[in-house]
Amino acid sequence: MDDITLLLIEDQTLMRQGLRTLLNLEDGLRVIGEAGDGEEGVRQALRLRPDVILMDVQMPRMNGVEATRALISAWPEAKVIVLTTFNFDDYVFRSVRAGAMGYLLKDAPAEALIQTIRRVHDGEVFIQPELASRALRELASGMETRRSPSRSQTDAPQPFDLSDREREVLVLLAQGLSNREIAERLFITEGTVKNHVSAILAKLQAENRTQAADIARRRGLTPP
């Protein structure tokens, strides 16, 4: 039986190297390519045509949701597993809508990751159990809203429950600062900024930083 070929799309080098080592040690699995951002990941996937793709969410140039959507559009047979540190309901929902067949948190046991790869390769859709029920409720809610949206529902501004620190990050993000520049300005780590940006995108239901900044300006969350 041929090995299941894998592509790793992950911007953190240590995480990518760790995954490659772990997966290549498993009988029947073989990593054939890597990419450090969404755009490169889509190109590599279309070139290599791996059996399964492991996709991070927050990455430079193109995030995992956008990359999954672009990849599925160009190659509908692609089998994508979103592998991330973020368990926000909105990320699960958007990843499934984009065409992902799996969603797993990075703190899941190695055995769970390997089983998910094999299940997705066999054509199953698998979302980590503790996330699945919330994703299904979100999908059902979204379908109901699309069936009968009222004008008051569609026109009313959405409430955003941003923390004080998230608002500070959002203001600097809207000014075009990078994660590193924001970290230096606020005296926090770049990883912490990345987590805040991910939370902001989820709460604003934005696909990327540019859209988040635009939403923030239109809703008066940042200076004009």
User: Could you report the per-residue pLDDT of 16-34, keeping only the tens digit for each?
Assistant: 999 999 999 999 999 999 9
| Span 30-47, average pLDDT | 96
CA 83/CA 69 separation, integer angstroms? 15
Nearest Cα neighbor of 166 from 123, 137, 136, 198 is 198
How high is the pLDDT of residue 207? 81
How high is the pLDDT of residue 39? 94
Q: What is the pLDDT of residues 103-139, one digit of tens each?
A: 888 888 999 999 999 999 999 888 877 666 555 555 4
| Span 31-53, average pLDDT | 97
Other CB atoms within a 10 A radius of the CB of residue 35 amount to 24
Q: Are residues 31 and 78 both part of a single domain?
A: yes
Nearest Cα neighbor of 65 from 34, 36, 103, 31 is 103
pLDDT: which is higher, 157 or 159: 159
Q: Are residues 83 and 165 both part of a single domain?
A: no
How high is the pLDDT of residue 154? 39
* End residue of a domain, out of 83, 110, 141: 141
Give CA 17 to chain center in angstroms: 19
How high is the pLDDT of residue 127? 81
Look at residue 146 and tell me if it is in a domain.
no
Look at residue 149 and tell me if it is in a domain.
no
Domain ranges, residue 212: 157-216
CATH number for position 162: 1.10.10.10
- C-alpha dihedral, 100 to 51 to 36 to 178, nearest 10°: -10
Q: Are residues 77 and 170 both part of a single domain?
A: no
Look at residue 152 and tell me if it is in a domain.
no
Q: What is the pLDDT of residues 52-92, one digit of tens each?
A: 999 998 888 898 989 999 999 999 999 999 998 866 666 77
Look at residue 82 and tell me if it is in a domain.
yes
* End residue of a domain, out of 79, 113, 141: 141
- The answer to whether 183 touches 194, Cβ cutoff 8 Å, is no
How high is the pLDDT of residue 80? 96
CATH number for position 122: 3.40.50.2300
Q: What is the pLDDT of residues 162-207, one digit of tens each?
A: 788 888 898 888 888 888 999 999 888 888 888 888 888 888 888 8
CA 9/CA 64 separation, integer angstroms? 8
The token pair that represents 50 in the structure block: 């791996």
CA 135/CA 141 separation, integer angstroms? 10
How high is the pLDDT of residue 90? 67
CA 221/CA 3 separation, integer angstroms? 50
Q: Are residues 137 and 170 both part of a single domain?
A: no
How high is the pLDDT of residue 19? 95
Q: Are residues 33 and 132 both part of a single domain?
A: yes
Q: Of all residues in the chain, what percent carry a pLDDT higher than 90? A: 40
Q: Are residues 124 and 168 both part of a single domain?
A: no
Q: Are residues 130 and 196 both part of a single domain?
A: no
CA 45/CA 40 separation, integer angstroms? 9
How high is the pLDDT of residue 50? 98
Q: Are residues 32 and 127 both part of a single domain?
A: yes
Other CB atoms within a 10 A radius of the CB of residue 167 amount to 16
Q: Are residues 24 and 128 both part of a single domain?
A: yes
Q: Over 50: is that where the pLDDT of 152 sits?
A: no
CA 26/CA 121 separation, integer angstroms? 15
- C-alpha dihedral, 119 to 125 to 131 to 137, nearest 10°: -160
pLDDT: which is higher, 155 or 13: 13
Q: Are residues 118 and 20 both part of a single domain?
A: yes
How high is the pLDDT of residue 1? 67
Look at residue 162 and tell me if it is in a domain.
yes
For the chain, give me the number of helices (H) and strands (E)? 11, 6
* End residue of a domain, out of 80, 107, 141: 141
Q: Are residues 93 and 185 both part of a single domain?
A: no
| Span 7-20, average pLDDT | 95
Q: Over 90: is that where the pLDDT of 49 sits?
A: yes
- Burial of residue 90, with CB atoms counted within 10 A of its CB: 0-12 exposed, 13-18 middle, 19 or more buried: middle
How high is the pLDDT of residue 174? 86
Look at residue 116 and tell me if it is in a domain.
yes
Q: Are residues 56 and 119 both part of a single domain?
A: yes
Look at residue 150 and tell me if it is in a domain.
no
Q: Number of folded domains in the chain?
A: 2
